[in-house]
Amino acid sequence: MRRRGRLLALMTGVLCALGAVAGIAHADNPIVQHVYTADPAPLVHNGRVYLYTGHDEDGSTYFTMKDWRVWSSADMVNWTDHGSPMSLSTFSWAKQDAWAGQAIERNGKFYWYVPMVNRSTGRMAIGVGVADSPTGPFRDALGHPLVENGEFDPTVFIDDNGQAYLYWGNPNLWYVRLNADMISYSGGPTQIPLTTAGFGTRPNGGNRPTLFEEGPWVYKRNGLYYNVFAAKCCSEFIAYSTSTGPTGPWTYRGTVMPTQGSSFTNHPGIVDYKGSSYFFYHNGALPGGGGYTRSVAVEKFAYNADGSIPTITMTTAGPPPADTLDPFVRQEAETINGESGIETEPASEGGMNIGWIENGDSVKVRNVAFGAGAKSFTARVASASSGGTIEVRLGSATGTVVGRCTVPGTGGWQTWTSVSCPVSGATGTQDVVLRFTGGSGYLFNVNWWQFSA
């Protein structure tokens, strides 16, 4: 049941020590700390960033991946866990390898293009999940692969004229023109010429003369088309090319993120959100992390005046908040900036809850706007044991306690009740830590929380 909590509690201590030494006030990267994530694919929709990722299994010694995950944020620092709305079992024809994909919205539906091994052929093929919500659940749109040529890593893009394109490939690079239904295409797969002028020169290239390896991410900005990709192997770095058209010819433009971190792969994703640009990637920064146990991170950046992408370096700090968090509306407990020890699971009341909570575990949210102040705190809780206490602290897990809520035993881990307690001293804009205390073993679950003004 409890997969990685103790390890991540250790991580929190390590990061706190690093902060004391290096002056880092917080460590927001990786942005998800309670489960391994990989291959980020961000999507901006209705004022939120939705992040679609792969999921590396704990202790993997290969790319052992069975499902995909969804997260979202309104401020780029607090991320809500939406669980796993799509897995290999969604596709009856899939055998294994739930690898890197990307989702896009069109006409009120969300299409998630993902590669898997086709059970019938033993080759990599690309399927399409479709949903009515960005968080799913997703269903197989076709009942069979959309395209199959043994290659993978799809990226999807809709041009200004409404024409959609699906690109994918390793070791080659392919595209098809998707029809408006997003689950069929016109013509056949077309191979993009991998020239050194278009994709750079690989040192000692052999049968791969260019830097292109895998993981393309295609988008358009100010009339210019960008193809950002994982370059060379191994270890990979992130490079990019540009073009005046969606299918090329491409011109190699250089490095986005040099080889760094403790994963020998990387995978790009770029979006603009609330007036700023963000670059998503993965590394092996969590305890136990590496090339097969990766974690998604994000950096804020600004394009150069000529539209070129600057060189971006991995950080532990991550981007600054893009907005404040409103404590006076219901906030999901699985909306997290940092954590120690917790896990998440589907909640019987819908969404997800945090659980596997033991004495001393905690969750943190950043940039909480209390304004003139909060008077009380309410949490939705469940406990099959004797419960415990939620300490509401400001700043850190050792910060000032402004409230304490007693959580009773409720008779079950999904038997929910609401508890409230007075709050004093929560004013202005603060980071908030909910620290959980009690006896031995698992204490209680939390579904959501809310302050009153």
* Residue 407 · residue 445 · CB < 8 Å: no
CA 418/CA 10 separation, integer angstroms? 31
Candidates 39, 56, 75, 236; catalytic one: 39
Beta-carbon count within 10 A of 445 CB = 28
CA 81/CA 351 separation, integer angstroms? 9
Residue 59, CA distances (Å) to 7, 86, 98, 287 in order: 12, 22, 17, 11
Our answer to whether residue 67 is catalytic in this structure is no
CA 154/CA 102 separation, integer angstroms? 7
Our answer to whether residue 39 is catalytic in this structure is yes
Candidates 28, 81, 214, 236; catalytic one: 214
Residue 12, CA distances (Å) to 6, 286, 339, 361 in order: 10, 10, 8, 10
Amino acid at 163: Q
Beta-carbon count within 10 A of 422 CB = 13
Cβ neighbours of residue 244 closer than 8 Å, sequence gap 6 or more: 223, 224, 225
CA 158 to chain centre: 22
Q: Residue 150 — φ and ψ, nearest 5°?
A: 85, 0
Q: 256-266: buried (b, 16+ CB within 10 Å) or exposed (e) per residue? A: bbeeebebebb
Bridge partner residues of 380 (DSSP): 418, 448
Run of H or E including 212: strand 212-221
Give the alpha-carbon dihedral of 432, 273, 301, 396, to 10 degrees.
0
Structure token digits, residue 433: 């830590």
CA 79/CA 32 separation, integer angstroms? 8
- ∠ CA 241-242-243, nearest 5°, is 135
Q: Which residues are catalytic?
A: 39, 214
